[in-house]
Amino acid sequence: MEGDIILRNIHFLTDLDGTLLLSDATLSAYTVDVISRAMEQGAVISYATARSYMSSNHIVSVIPWKHPIVLYNGAVIYDPLTMKVIGGHWLDNSVANSIVDIGRAHALLPFIFALDENDKERALHEKLTGSGSISFYESRPNDPRFSEMTNLACPDSFRTLKVTYIGLLHELEPLRDEVVRRFDSQVHIHLMKDSYIANHYFLEFGHPNANKKEGLRQWAKLVGCKPEDVTVFGDNLNDLGMFETAGAKVAVSNAHPALHELATYVALSNDEDGVAVYIKDVAGCE
């Protein structure tokens, strides 16, 4: 069909939390309908998220995703059809374990997110004590990724995706600064406010290329286009790399001011289905 040919030349990559998802971390029926119809008509649509596959799929699986997805802020590229890891960047385990030691000296303990020998997602941790980490864990009941260790370290046979601390800003900033002094360009760092845990921030350390900018580049190559052919959607600072690289950058109205500055268009908020409204207007899907 002629419409299919047109839509095949349209590529969308969207963030989830605060962007595609409502503020209660769900999808609206309108968004599900618009994206599903657009993909049926040939549009290439997927998502790039800080979440894991298990965490994101639990929320968005009602949409029949068929193109690669970007996980863990770009550390993993995953094929939802074959359910296999098809790309990504891993943090050197010795660096990851050193960051755990630095955190311990600051009386902070992280989660280590990794892939095991069978590409299964794992979330390693010691006994949880911080309120932020406990809230994060409790928000994911019966999640088989989590495994408590006596002495936290990433096994040699695992590939570290990211080392994640959850805490108050004044707790995390000194840790960030020390890791920068010790490792500088050997790590990529995200420090951003959590969307769901009041007054808490996420501080994440990963491979230098484990970010959404590189994730977008890998994704574009896999779906057969150039980054400048892609329209991206975002709301938070970890989306800046996509905005710097994509051809069209759409910030939802609730986005961080830094994204508004780079945006080529400001859409309605996440709670007003801004992404879906934009896609329906551009794709003209029926």
CA 40 remoteness from chain centre: 25
Over residues 230-248, the pLDDT tens digits come to 999 999 999 999 999 999 9
Over residues 82-97, the pLDDT tens digits come to 999 999 999 999 999 9
Residues 81 and 154 in one domain: no
For the chain, the 3-state helix, strand and coil shares in percent, each to the nearest 5, are 40, 25, 35
> DSSP label at 91?
B
The helix or strand, by DSSP H or E, that contains position 178, with its residue range, turns out to be helix 169-183
Over residues 30-55, the pLDDT tens digits come to 999 999 999 999 999 999 999 999 99
Residues 135 and 178 in one domain: yes
pTM of the model: 0.88
Half-sphere exposure of 38 (CA within 13 A, CB side): 27
User: Range of 45's domain?
Assistant: 2-88+211-283
Residues 181 and 241 in one domain: no
Residues 243 and 112 in one domain: no
Residues 121 and 144 in one domain: yes
Q: Which CATH number is 32's domain given?
A: 3.40.50.1000
Percent of the chain's residues with pLDDT above 90: 88
Over residues 98-148, the pLDDT tens digits come to 999 999 999 999 999 999 999 999 999 999 998 999 999 999 888 999 999
Q: Give me the number of domains the chain comprises.
A: 2
> DSSP label at 237?
G
Residue 5: pLDDT band by 50, 70, 90 thresholds? very low
Domain boundary among 164, 188, 206: 206
Residues 19 and 97 in one domain: no
Whether the Cβ atoms of residue 251 and residue 264 lie closer than 8 Å to each other: no
Residue 196 confidence (pLDDT): 83
